[in-house]
Structure 1
Amino acid sequence: MHEITPIPLSALTTIATGGAPERMLDATTAEGLVSALRETWSRGDEWFVLGGGSNLFVGDEQFEGTVIRVLTRGIDELPSPHEGRIRLRAQAGHGWDELVAYAVEHGYAGLEAMSGIPGTVGAAPVQNIGAYGQEIQETLVEVELIDAATGEISTVPASELGLGFRTSVLKHHYGSEPERRAVILSITVDLLVARERIVRGEQLRRALTLGDDAPVPLSWVRERILATRASKGMLWDQVDPDTHGVGSFFQNAIVTETVARALPPECPRWPVSPDLDTVTVIPLASYGGLIPAPAREAADVKVSAAWLIEQAGIRKGFKLPRSRASVSTKHALALTNRGGATAAEVAELARFIQSRVHSEFGLVLQPEPVLVGVEL
């Protein structure tokens, strides 16, 4: 690690807000990252780690603490215990899309629908990133992390990360602390060795406009996903202000079936799959020869936040008077910095959208990025 002259966070985040922190460290190796974290924790500083800056919304005031830039890189191929599969271990600072590109190029399936998602590998499990029905939890085996409370390094299986819809025990949710404060050093995923695949998921099939079950090349899936994301302003482009944001600013809402039925029928929605592999244990002493029918639990439903926003009267390109922040002209779910917008301007727009959706549909949209020094 080495200490550098602090760089304004507006130059290091895709939404381009935030002043220079009090202190900044660069970590280019796993050992350097561990040293930087332990040294910062020993000082008692406020701190956060910075990867690609694509899921971070920072306030206008100086951050009174230390920012550690995670610049570690590298991908290792490891054997998988499962026939026909392979494992990839990637360092936390490696670009996520670079990992996806590597997998597709080498014929390893399981990440291709998440092409074009910005940010770094280390941030992916924290957010349980996903796109078009594919999530990292489907292939994630384990993470190596360092615990902020003890400074100890451990390898934690994916099953212990509390992975859910855009969440984990490591995520700093708006208004609360993470259940476990730790920093990921590397991740390991288990992928199918195959250069083409049959696409099963409904969302992905719709995005790819597939009509049959014929296998398609991974490279073709990646190309189509990248084109789709570009058309929505979800791929960073220096000259396109529609990409100068944090991607989807609000999460799609997860509601009960009862709440979903109260929404207009044209509101796009997708079932959140229940656990179909639940094991029923019946003590032998009480077994009478019949297995009771499983009790049906109400399934949650994911509804489109973009649809809710537009139907609340917020159109693509909308902005408040005299504001330099606006909704993307390509996607209603993206809030963008049109040039020189302050964090206060972006936050004002976000609060206005939340109030409109709540007034119209009774739902409070939750921000997706990590907020530092900002309140909604």
Structure 2
Amino acid sequence: MPTTAVPLADLTTLRLGGPARQLVRATDTDAIVAAVREADAAGERLLVLGGGSNLVVPDDGFDGTVVRLESRGHTVTRDGDTALVDVAAGEDWDELVAATVTEGLGGLECLSGIPGSTGATPVQNVGAYGVEVADLLVDVTLLDRATGEVATVPAGALGLGYRTSRIKGHDREIVLSARFRLTTDGLSAPIRYAELARTLGVEAGTRVPVAEARAAVLGLRRGKGMVLDEADHDTWSAGSFFTNPVVGKDVADDVARRVATLDARPVTAWPTDDGRVKLSAAALIERAGVPRGHPGPDAPVRVSTRHTLALTNRGDGTTAELLALARDVRDRVEAAFGVRLVPEPVLVGRAAL
């Protein structure tokens, strides 16, 4: 049965946002499909909610039906040196990663510590420390709201790109489950990320025991306030609030010239396969004069004291204050470097930049 006037702040990692008019907790795939079909038949506005880790809800809440994905469980089918892992959409992502590491399966360990549900990970092609969901995803099972049909769609048809997919930014297709292909030799994916390689004391491209990789990633994320901790307000966030901008080489060169005139450290940049350049959003924010903890220790919402990409609720903030801070950071970067940062979380309803 749906419950009414449920505070959505209690269901998001930012702990911000007003109530949902009604909330349906769907504990298995059939219940998810039934709840969505019922809402659609009634002409209801619909919000599908997983772990709430990548969501910004307005202070006045959501005037419609929220379907919370609470399906759980995964199965492993081993086939020689690989295994297929089939996961329910509502399964907690980090619990899944921990389970695969315990089972000696390699591939997901560099995505340790990321909050949220498994069903959300293909939507924005979650990635960290040199690994993306696209590297491991085989397919997803989707509910198509237009037709009411449930179908399995291969990863190659999802339009997976840097923190995006064809199913991001709308609820027309809803992930019910996902399958990943992992290795069975107990070793990680090749370590590609320089910071992680240094932490592990290995050369780039080396594979290490999965438990060692997971421990190192969790240590790095904790140091940046990116592992959820009820007592630590630096973790009351939606993770990285802005994506790293991907720009043309001419824009990247212009940014480098502007940074040099400020006598600041260069902005970290990575070449992309299509000839463009990915710039570090955190570095752009810092070089634009936004320090950690901005705008100050008394602000109810502020930049994390450990990572400039995270905007944090210090306990009594509002979504309006969060969005005002996001605009301030975005506008400072654009004024300094001519690059407009794009938010990574999903902004619900009137929660808009």
TM-score, shorter chain, exceeding 0.5: yes
Residue 109 (structure 1) aligned to one of 99, 106, 109: 106
More divergent stretch after superposition (333-342 vs 194-203): 194-203
Listed one character per residue, the Cα deviations across residues 4-30 of structure 1 (whole Å, up to 9, x for unaligned) are 244201111111111111111110011
Correspondence for 2:351: 374
Q: How many residues align?
A: 343
Correspondence for 1:355: 331
The 5-angstrom pairing of residues 189-228 of structure 1 reads: 189-197=180-188, 199-203=190-194, 204-206=196-198, 208-211=200-203, 215-228=207-220
Give the whole-Å Cα distance in 2 for the aligned partners of 1:207 and 1:314.
27
- CA shift at 1:198, angstroms? 6.7
Correspondence for 2:53: 54
Give the whole-Å Cα distance in 2 for the aligned partners of 1:330 and 1:322.
17
Secondary structure of the residue aligned to 1:341 is coil
Correspondence for 1:99: 96
TM-score by length of 1: 0.88
How large is the RMSD of aligned CA atoms in angstroms? 1.7
The 5-angstrom pairing of residues 333-344 of structure 1 reads: 333-344=309-320
Q: Does the CA-based 8 Å contact 1:12-1:53 persist in structure 2?
A: yes
Residue 302 (structure 1) aligned to one of 278, 282, 291: 278
| Sequence identity (%) | 44
Correspondence for 1:292: none
Listed one character per residue, the Cα deviations across residues 179-236 of structure 1 (whole Å, up to 9, x for unaligned) are x821100000011111124734144424544247654211000000001000000001
The 5-angstrom pairing of residues 17-28 of structure 1 reads: 17-28=16-27
Q: Does the CA-based 8 Å contact 1:208-1:225 persist in structure 2?
A: no
Stretches of structure 2 lacking an aligned partner (at least 5 in a row): 261-265
Name the larger-Rg structure. 1
1:268 equivalenced with 2:260 (yes/no) = no
* Poorly superposed stretches of 4+, deviation over 6 Å: none
Correspondence for 1:185: 176
Change (3 A) 1:215 1:13: closer
Q: Does the CA-based 8 Å contact 2:8-2:61 persist in structure 1?
A: no
Change (3 A) 1:212 1:162: closer
Give the whole-Å Cα distance in 2 for the aligned partners of 1:146 and 1:68.
13
Give the residue type in structure 2 aligned to 1:76.
T
The 5-angstrom pairing of residues 249-260 of structure 1 reads: 249-260=241-252
Change (3 A) 1:8 1:304: same
Residue 158 (structure 1) aligned to one of 144, 155, 160: 155
Give the residue type in structure 1 aligned to 2:230.
Q
Change (3 A) 1:349 1:217: same
- CA shift at 1:330, angstroms? 0.3
Listed one character per residue, the Cα deviations across residues 14-60 of structure 1 (whole Å, up to 9, x for unaligned) are 11111111111110011111100110111111111111111000111
Secondary structure of the residue aligned to 1:125 is coil
- CA shift at 1:111, angstroms? 0.7
The 5-angstrom pairing of residues 70-109 of structure 1 reads: 70-80=69-79, 83-109=80-106
Give the whole-Å Cα distance in 2 for the aligned partners of 1:6 and 1:188.
35
1:245 equivalenced with 2:237 (yes/no) = yes
Stretches of structure 1 lacking an aligned partner (at least 5 in a row): 173-177, 275-298
TM-score by length of 2: 0.93
Give the residue type in structure 1 aligned to 2:16.
T
Give the whole-Å Cα distance in 1 for the aligned partners of 2:125 and 2:112.
14
- CA shift at 1:300, angstroms? 1.7
Give the residue type in structure 2 aligned to 1:95.
D
Q: Does the CA-based 8 Å contact 1:74-1:91 persist in structure 2?
A: yes
